Amino acid sequence: MAHIIGRGGPRDRAAIPLSTKLGTHIENERRRESSPDARRASVRKWATEFPDAKLRSLTATYNCFGMVFANRRAWVFEDQLPLVRDEDGYRLVATPAVGDIVVYRRTTDIEHVGIAVEVRPNVESGTWEVIVLSKWGVEGEYFHRETRVPQLFGRPAEYWTDRVEAP
């Protein structure tokens, strides 16, 4: 794969101005929309594979990292996540609350993120059921149970929060 000098940086015309809370630029790019036929095929594919997932929106212009950390405005590169985590003040929590980030991994790398939109106890199993909103690559945004994602996204591995606790 060819490396494009300055790709996603502040001078890249395909990037938007995007920075951490501390002001460091977050590399990103705006992507083109997919064709209507590709979007229709995507909806059919995921409806068959994940019938319990509910479509929220359907666009290819941003990824899951862009949905969570760039307000759906750009495709954020995965190597930017440690920077965002550290400079935006995210910390690990054992159990998510609504609004926290669900982080997915296949190995050590972060593959996918989503936002916890519902957290409810499962009394039978003594665990929590977490409903997530996440963006599935160039496909749509879906509401889904946290473990019900395409295999290439990995498994839920940790939760991040930026909540400020009461003094």
Q: What pLDDT shows up at residue 165?
A: 82
The token pair at 56 is: 């929220």
Q: Dump pLDDT digits (tens) for 66-82.
A: 999 999 999 999 999 99
**Is the entire prediction scored with pTM above 0.85?**
yes
Q: Dump pLDDT digits (tens) for 122-161.
A: 888 888 899 999 999 899 999 999 999 999 999 999 999 9
**Three-state DSSP class for residue 82:** helix
The CA radius of gyration of the chain, in Å to the nearest whole number, is 17
Q: Dump pLDDT digits (tens) for 89-127.
A: 999 999 999 999 999 999 899 999 999 999 998 888 888
Q: What pLDDT shows up at residue 11?
A: 66
The conformation of residue 19, written as its DSSP 8-state character, comes to B
Element (H, E) at 85: helix 81-87
Contact 147, 110 (CB under 8 A): no
Contact 52, 143 (CB under 8 A): no
CA dist 160 and 85 (Å) reads 8
